[in-house]
């Protein structure tokens, strides 16, 4: 656990940055209120003019079993938080016997960054869902986020670095990718949970998930040589704490860049678009209404400004991966059974087509 003694943090910050910090207070967060989501324990460090956020990775699933995994997670966060609108990283250190020490490879790591003020984007979407309509700010936010991806995806992968292939491998095979979602989330569900949330046996559902996994791997294999597409990406571009609006809809922060510095742009686009689809299903039971408007606006804007219609041939493995995430009862316990079934229909049908057609979304939702 991270210490809450202000003097301890003053000493560490001075040692690690060479600057004097006046720490006015340290506030631990409860585990179920962890700042910026993710996996780990987090605290706020209040200074005279701002707050810092310190976060230590949590030992456990999704590729954090070994100390080396958690070190990689912290080093990645500290060194790769370089996209526009990401909070500035302040320091990286280690915890040993309850004390804060300079970073090393033998103790639990942590990172300190500036606070990303504001409110998670998913809360604005939830408010629109409760209202039953969207407003002009909601429309502007969707376009702002679409433009953000247009901007960062313009930077292409350095020649012959093979990061595109690495990204595709990680999407389907890493602990945080498709294999991890299936193993850590789906395989651990009980028969009762599956029966109650899907209306079918665990054995039947596992067979269905296995087929989806096979299809995603087949598609990943078919696109891994399209290295000319490799672009700067975020890697986990979703509305649940990874996007925070300080002043909705213009001023926002992007957090928790994950897994890849360069890779397939469809990863970022699908990650966000699938959340508009999910909200449309929760709202209307199909892809219609205000969240269809947001989803179409987000995607149409991106395709128009990038002219990347080739992406529609590549969305399949990302749609399966994100579909499994948003349909799991562990992370989304209150999703109605019929919505989960439609997401499964969507994944299965999309994985069968050679090119995704945004105008056929409702057809993809059918059994």
Rg of the chain over Cα atoms, rounded to whole angstroms, equals 21
C-alpha to C-alpha distance for 92 and 285, rounded to whole angstroms = 46
Question: 155-163 contacts: CB < 8 A, separation 24 or more?
Answer: 155/231, 155/232, 156/230, 156/231, 156/232, 156/262, 157/227, 157/230, 157/231, 157/232, 157/262, 157/263, 158/262, 161/262, 162/227, 163/230, 163/260, 163/261, 163/262, 163/263
What pLDDT is attached to residue 230? 97
C-alpha to C-alpha distance for 172 and 264, rounded to whole angstroms = 13
C-alpha to C-alpha distance for 357 and 363, rounded to whole angstroms = 10
The two structure tokens encoding residue 221: 């294999």
Report whether 296 contacts 288 (CB < 8 A): no
User: What is residue 88's DSSP assignment?
Assistant: P
pTM value?
Answer: 0.95
What pLDDT is attached to residue 84? 97
SS3 26: strand
Could you tell me which residues come within 8 angstroms of residue 291 by beta carbon, excluding any fewer than 6 positions away?
A: 125, 128, 129, 134, 276, 277, 279, 280, 283, 284
What pLDDT is attached to residue 354? 95
* Structural domains of the chain, with CATH: 6-114 (3.30.200), 119-364 (3.90.1200.10)
What pLDDT is attached to residue 32? 40
Q: State the number of CA atoms in the 13 A half-sphere of 330 facing the CB.
A: 12
pLDDT in tens, the chain (367 residues): 899 999 999 999 999 999 999 999 999 875 444 333 445 688 999 999 999 999 998 888 788 899 999 999 999 999 999 999 999 999 999 999 889 999 999 999 999 999 999 999 999 999 999 999 999 999 999 999 999 999 999 999 998 889 999 999 999 999 989 999 999 888 888 899 899 888 889 999 999 999 999 999 999 999 999 999 999 999 999 999 899 999 999 999 999 998 899 999 999 999 999 999 999 999 999 999 999 999 999 999 999 999 999 999 999 999 999 999 999 888 888 899 999 999 999 999 999 999 999 999 999 999 9
């Amino acid at each position: 656990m991270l210490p809450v003694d202000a003097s301890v943090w003053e000493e560490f910050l001075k040692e690690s940055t060479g600057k004097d910090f006046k720490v006015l207070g340290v506030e631990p967060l409860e585990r179920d209120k962890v700042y910026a989501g993710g996996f780990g324990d987090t605290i706020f460090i209040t200074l005279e003019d701002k707050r810092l956020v310190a976060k230590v990775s949590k030992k456990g699933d999704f590729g954090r079993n070994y100390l080396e995994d958690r070190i990689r997670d912290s080093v990645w966060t500290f060194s790769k938080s370089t996209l526009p609108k990401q909070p500035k990283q302040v320091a990286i250190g280690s915890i040993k016997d309850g004390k804060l020490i300079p970073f090393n490879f033998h103790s639990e790591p942590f990172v300190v960054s500036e606070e990303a003020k504001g409110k998670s984007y998913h809360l604005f979407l939830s408010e629109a869902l409760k209202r039953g309509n969207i407003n002009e700010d909601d429309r502007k936010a969707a376009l702002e986020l679409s433009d953000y991806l247009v901007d960062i995806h313009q930077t292409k992968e350095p020649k012959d670095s093979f990061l595109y292939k690495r990204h595709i491998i990680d999407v389907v095979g890493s602990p945080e990718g498709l294999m991890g979602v299936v193993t850590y989330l789906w395989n651990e569900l009980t028969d009762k949970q599956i029966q109650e949330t899907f209306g079918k046996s665990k054995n039947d559902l596992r067979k269905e998930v296995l087929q989806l996994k096979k299809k995603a791997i087949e598609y990943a294999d078919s696109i891994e040589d399209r290295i000319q597409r490799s672009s700067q990406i975020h890697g986990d571009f979703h509305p649940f704490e990874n996007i925070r609006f300080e002043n909705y809809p213009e001023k926002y922060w992007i957090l928790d860049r994950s897994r890849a510095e360069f890779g397939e742009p469809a990863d970022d686009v699908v990650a966000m678009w699938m959340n508009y689809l999910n909200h449309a299903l929760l709202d209307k039971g199909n892809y219609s209404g205000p969240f269809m408007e947001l989803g179409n606006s987000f995607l149409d804007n991106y395709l128009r400004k990038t002219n990347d219609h080739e992406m529609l041939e590549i969305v399949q493995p990302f749609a399966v991966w994100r579909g499994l995430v948003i349909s799991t009862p562990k992370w989304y316990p209150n999703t109605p059974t019929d919505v989960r079934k439609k997401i499964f229909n969507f994944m299965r049908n999309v994985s069968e087509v050679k090119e995704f057609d945004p105008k056929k979304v409702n057809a993809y939702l059918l059994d």
